[in-house]
Amino acid sequence: MTATGQGGERSGATFDDVLRDGSGRPTPGDRAGHDQAPHDQAPHGRLMRRSPLSAWIDAWWSGVLRTPARRRLWWWGGPAFVTLIAAVLRLWNLGHPHALVFDETYYVKDAWTLWNTGAERSWPDGADDAFVAGDVDSWLETPSYVVHPPLGKWLIGLGMALVGQGTDSAGWRLATAVIGVLAVLLLTLIARRLFSSTALAVLAGGLFAIDGHAIVMSRVALLDTMVMFFALLGVGAVLLDREWFRRRLDDWIVRRDAGAGDPWGPVYWNRPWVLAAGVAFGLATSVKWSGLYFLAVFGVYLVVVDALARRRARIPFFWSSAVLRQAPATFVLLVPVALLVYLASWTGWFLGDDGYDRTWADQPSNAWTGPFAWVPTALQSLWHYHESMYGFHVGLSSPHPYQASPFSWLLLVRPTSMWYSASPGGAEAITSIANPIIWWASVAALLFLVYRIVVRPDWRIGLILTGIVAGYGPWLLYPDRTVFQFYTIAFEPYLLLALTVAIATIIGRPGDEPSRRSAGMIATGAFLVVAVLASAFWYPLWTATWVPDLFIRVHYWLPGWI
């Protein structure tokens, strides 16, 4: 085969090569199927007439990437292109509507007072209309009781400060929009690392770029897109740690075989990507506590991956070695770092004395006694505040017209209407419904991956399913809580990775029967065309674009979408 080009895609690679099983290695039948194919030397016209579609696409793609310059352009240009699409769809007309949309009524005003005073403040009745009209300084001196950590609001406030005096609605949505764009780039890069294919990476990132749920959640000043981004950043660090650990373990195997290895296996304290994951998961938790699920689930994932790697290295008692020796080191590298990041997000609360419950423990009747009396009163007060926040979260059951049971999320039964404004003959609306073609296909792909992990275990599928477990599984434990469909943004990237795996499987590998692969390519092309058309069809309802009443009604495919 030809030499490896930049990014692991070979010089002269065919379209089959980058849509292989994701390993980045030649598969059986590669050489027989391509190097010796007589029609590869045929004129272009004869190739189209005599060869299956898959062979024609192979030859065309080989021509597209035939020079190093073109391969470099694809390596950089593919991710850049889908990121540009994401930016256009998320930033265009970002300031419309000029209103506090859905829970922006909480986060925007809290962000503004947090940015200006270091703590969230209460507001008088009717403050929303006044705030939108430009009266952004009428907050009260009393602290506001908030139930989410400060980091997301700090970022929203930063966007407001950069744009102006907080009166421009594009300013209070800027942070989530930029983070939403960066999330598309990040997913693209993770997919390329996972599948060793720029084509698959562009596919995953492109689907994320055009999906309506991701677009809406990037165009409103809510916190969940930030949780998704920082958690995805942590997953990327875990992916890089897997490669780092494998290289170090391979080196240890060489030393062991030379008689210098510990039969219990090595313990690595210097794992920079675990530290990075701790920082990222700490940032996610500093936005909303749901980020803690990713920290816990991927902490367990690291231990399991370490144990499996030790088993492959033929280390006796590999489970004991991973759990009793490496796991404590991994815990120290991961959890305390995340905790420090989380505490740092409360810096404004610590530095002031007028945040909610800030001086609770300074009252003699409240301060701890006994063995914990030495704990600084600020930390005692923060702990008391967190006890109250926890009680609020687990007991939240107030009815809401757009609440959606977690058991219905995958079916897309009740998407959240963020904003609606009717006018004669039509309306403007923001509904967080996902592109239904992409969403339902992703759910079907999820079921396929569950089947695949059972019959043919694959570490890449395991990583994807772990992300879904971390983002979705814990919500199933609270069926009576008031929760919403838009929480699914936290695990949507992993659904799209699952869909990418399913599409690659449908297209097949170079050694597969040509007509079967041609059919797979046709089906994939048709699916992508329909998905793009569906995004165009739904885009007005994701961006508060005025449309006639009939246009809105034809989008109500299910009763719960109204």
pTM metric for this prediction: 0.89
Going across the sheet that includes 426-431, the strands are 417-423, 426-431, 547-548
Instruction: Give the per-residue pLDDT at 65.
Output: 85
**Rounded Cα distance, 69 and 6, in Å:** 10
198-210 and 169-195 helices, crossing angle to 10°: 150
Distances 229 to 103, 290, 293, 347, 411 between C-alpha atoms, Å: 19, 13, 14, 22, 23
Q: Are 156 and 175 in contact (CB under 8 A)?
A: yes
In tens digits, what is the pLDDT along the chain, a chain of 562 residues?
A: 333 334 444 433 443 344 444 334 433 333 333 333 333 333 444 444 445 787 788 778 888 888 889 999 999 999 999 999 999 999 999 999 999 999 999 999 999 999 999 999 999 988 999 999 988 989 999 999 999 999 999 999 999 999 877 778 999 999 999 999 999 999 999 999 999 999 999 999 999 999 999 999 999 999 999 999 999 999 999 999 999 999 988 888 877 776 666 778 888 999 999 999 999 999 999 999 999 999 999 999 999 999 999 998 888 888 888 999 999 999 999 999 999 999 999 999 999 888 999 999 998 889 888 888 899 999 999 999 999 998 888 777 788 899 999 999 999 999 999 999 999 999 999 999 999 999 999 999 999 999 999 999 999 999 999 999 999 999 998 888 889 999 999 999 999 999 999 999 999 877 778 888 889 999 999 999 999 999 999 999 999 999 999 999 999 999 989 7
Number of neighbours of residue 77 by Cβ within 10 angstroms: 14
- C-alpha triplet 386, 392, 398: angle, nearest 5°: 165
**DSSP symbols for 313-360:** TT-TTHHHIIIIIIHHHHHHHHHHHHHHHHHHTTHHHHH-S-STTTTG
124-154 per-residue burial string, b: 16 or more CB within 10 A, e: under 16:
eeebeeebbeeebeebeeebbebbbbbbbbb
Rounded distance, CA 82 to CA 74, Å? 12
DSSP strand pairing (426-431 vs 417-423): antiparallel
Q: Residue 29: count other Cβ atoms within 10 Å of its Cβ.
A: 13
Q: Which pLDDT score, from 0 to 100, does residue 25 have? A: 40
Are the CB atoms for 419 and 542 separated by under 8 Å? no
pLDDT at 261: 63
Phi (first) and psi of residue 117, to 5 degrees? -125, -10
Residue 444: CB partners within 8 Å, gap ≥ 6?
Answer: 502
pLDDT for 259: 64
Write down the pLDDT at residue 429. 94
Instruction: Output the pLDDT for position 51.
Output: 55
296 Cβ contact list (under 8 Å, min separation 6): 470
Residue 479: asked if its preceding bond is cis (omega within 30°), the reply is no
Predicted local confidence at residue 513, as pLDDT:
83
CA gap 284, 300 in Å, rounded: 17
DSSP for 430-468, written as a single string: EE----HHHHHHHHHHHHHHHHHHHHS--HHHHHHHHHH
> Could you please report the per-residue DSSP string of 495-507?
HHHHHHHHHHHHH
Q: Which helix (H) or strand (E) holds 285?
A: helix 272-285
pLDDT of residue 479: 82
Cα 113 from Cα 149, distance rounded (Å): 14
* Cα–Cα distance, 485 to 415 (Å, whole number): 5
Q: How wide is the angle at C-alpha 302 spanned by C-alphas 299 and 303, nearest 5°?
A: 95
